Amino acid sequence: MSKFSDVADTSHQLSLAAMEEASRTGHRTADIEHLLLALTLTDQPGGQVLRSFGVTIEMTRHAIAQQHEEQLASLGVTAHPSADGPIVFHETGGYEWSDRALAIIQRAAGRGRRGDAIAVLRELVAEPSGLIGDLLRRMDTLPEELLERLDDADRIPSPPTADRPRRPLSRRSEAFVPASLDEVWALLSDPRRIPEWDQSIGRVDAELSEPPQTGDAWVAHAQTHHADGRPLQIARELRRRFVQLDALEPETRVAWRTTFPDRERANARVVDLALAPAAHGTQVTISMAWDRHPARRPLPLVGWCMRPLTRLALWLQASQIGGGISRVFR
């Protein structure tokens, strides 16, 4: 992956997760503690190193709450712990990075730096206020030891991409989910729960008297409103869909094929999800593809010209799926 791709992927992941976490506590500005929370959720080596120290999303939330309470107490303010609310980032607006958090991300992408999660975490640990170092120590992690482990992780070459037949219109993304493999499998293998993690599906008409089998299909309906309540403009012929279980390998892999019966010669969307256990959670590989309808004639020149935009759109779709799965368990 190029540096540009690393920076774009990392920035997108961290911005989304940090601002989602900020929204849980009613903040509109994501600061350095929200950046640390986001790093505990990334699938990249930086996140893996954090979790290997036991720096998980739950532990970090607890440490931040404890730190804030002590800061207020030092000012003579007695704070009563209150439960954080749900993620409301997608229902609200006006979010931005704080100046110091944005400066950290920019330095991590500067000359001689990779711009990935390891680079961001290095800059965050070196942040001069000492707040991040204090949070790490509250979780029994020494910043010096963390930096040494990051150096070791940075020297390990990236693993080769697993061989799997690729469709012409396809893209792959990775996501770390802070839940057990059993919990994630129960979510992803149930057609009734697809709307929980796929924003494009509003409802699936499924009544299961027995476990679903490969080839089973159900009628689904498109999402009709944005998360903030605004109506979505969906073409009438795209509102009704068929969702088919395309592949099923228990607790390992599930694939869902979505077709659009009311639109002539519409391509089919395939979401292929591979699961693997990971420290403090589950690693999910999302393969997003569009299968061309047999009656549609390929246009090689048009396809070549549109390839960059197509790859970007597929990457965004796969990233949204990964983010949706993670949000269910946060």
CA gap 194, 240 in Å, rounded: 15
Q: Is the pTM of this model over 0.75?
A: yes
- Structural tokens at position 103: 């400066």
Q: Could you tell me if 198 and 271 are in contact, meaning their C-beta atoms sit under 8 angstroms apart? A: yes
Output the pLDDT for position 303: 58
Element holding 125 (H helix, E strand): helix 117-125
The domain over range 3-155 is classified in CATH as 1.10.1780.10: yes
CA gap 201, 234 in Å, rounded: 12
For 258: left if phi > 0, alpha if psi spans -120 to 50, otherwise beta; the answer is beta
* Residue 83 three-state SS: coil
Element holding 173 (H helix, E strand): strand 170-177
81 vs 181: which has the higher pLDDT: 181
CATH topology of domain 170-328: Alpha-D-Glucose-1,6-Bisphosphate; Chain A, domain 4 (3.30.530)
Q: What is the rounded average pLDDT for all residues in the chain?
A: 90
Q: Could you tell me if 199 and 317 are in contact, meaning their C-beta atoms sit under 8 angstroms apart? A: no
Output the pLDDT for position 168: 62
Q: Could you tell me if 119 and 44 are in contact, meaning their C-beta atoms sit under 8 angstroms apart? A: no
Domain residue limits, the chain: 3-155, 170-328
Output the pLDDT for position 268: 94
Q: Could you tell me if 221 and 243 are in contact, meaning their C-beta atoms sit under 8 angstroms apart? A: no
| pLDDT tens, position by position, 262-285 | 998 899 999 999 999 999 999 999
- Whether residue 189 is predicted with pLDDT greater than 80 in this model: the reply is yes
> Considering only CA atoms, which of 47, 25, 20 is closest in space to residue 36?
47
